[in-house]
Amino acid sequence: MCNLTEWLQRRALAFLFLLGLGTAFQIAQASADAPLPQPQSAPAEDLKFSVLVEKTEYKLSDPIEVSFQLENKGAKPVYVNKRFKVSSKNAPREQREVFLEAYDPSGKELESKYMDYKTGLPKSEYLELLQSNQKIASESKLDLKNHFDFKEPGTYRIVATYENTFGPELGLDTFQEKRLSEVTLKIVG
């Protein structure tokens, strides 16, 4: 009788041990399958987009180079697309991250010379978590003369729009609203 009791106790302990292992495995598997926590998107007023120029006065023969910058002025981090791929404003929304508009001294919009081409998804390294008070700038500069004809001296207005659509396909809650920046340039003969 004693052997039967010992045998039942050993079986009960073995059962409880296996039950505990199974529960631990289920918990570990559930946490491995759970999505990573995502920061909430920053409010629109917290993300500042800027078009940057080296100077505000150019000769007609000078290149007019610009770059772009995003700055998180809010308290919460936010995922942004730092690729800053420039397209035409007429391109489909999913084919533009930044588009440019230029206005001549009379206020008339200049026609874009930019040739649209399809772009693929940005590499995951371009989608970066921008911390509070952090800035991120474009890696290269862009010559506006490749996009617009500046034919006469005068004051021109340049408007750049940041409009990212990428990130959700990778499970990231990226900033998806439009941000505009404007700069005025003087072109002399």
Name the strand (E) or helix (H) holding 11.
Answer: helix 2-33
Strand, helix or coil for residue 43: coil
User: What confidence score (pLDDT) does residue 51 get?
Assistant: 97
Q: What is the pLDDT of residues 54-85, one digit of tens each?
A: 999 999 999 999 999 999 999 999 999 999 99
- The CATH classification of domain 44-188, taken from the options 2.60.40.2970, 2.40.170.20, 3.40.50.2000, 3.90.1150.10: 2.60.40.2970
Q: Domain coordinates of the chain in residue numbers? A: 1-34, 44-188
Residue 26 pLDDT > 50, yes or no?
A: yes
**Pick from 74, 98, 110: nearest CA to 165:** 98
DSSP state of 88: -
Note whether 86 and 142 are within 8 A (CB). yes
Residue 110 to residue 104: CA distance in whole angstroms: 7
pLDDT band of residue 22 (cuts 50, 70, 90) is: low
Please give the C-alpha separations between residue 95 and each of 24, 43, 67, 121, 147, in angstroms, as whole numbers: 46, 24, 19, 9, 17
Note whether 134 and 72 are within 8 A (CB). yes
Rama region for 20: left / alpha / beta (φ>0; ψ in -120 to 50; rest): alpha
Hunting for tokens 């500046």 — which residue is that?
Answer: 150
Q: What is the pLDDT of residues 87-133, one digit of tens each?
A: 888 888 888 899 999 999 999 999 998 766 667 778 888 999 999 99
User: What confidence score (pLDDT) does residue 44 get?
Assistant: 57
User: What confidence score (pLDDT) does residue 20 get?
Assistant: 57
User: What confidence score (pLDDT) does residue 127 get?
Assistant: 93
Residue 24 pLDDT > 50, yes or no?
A: no
Residue 177 to residue 170: CA distance in whole angstroms: 18
9 or 122: which leads in pLDDT: 122
Q: Which amino acid is at 158?
A: I
Residue 66 to residue 102: CA distance in whole angstroms: 13
pLDDT band of residue 25 (cuts 50, 70, 90) is: very low
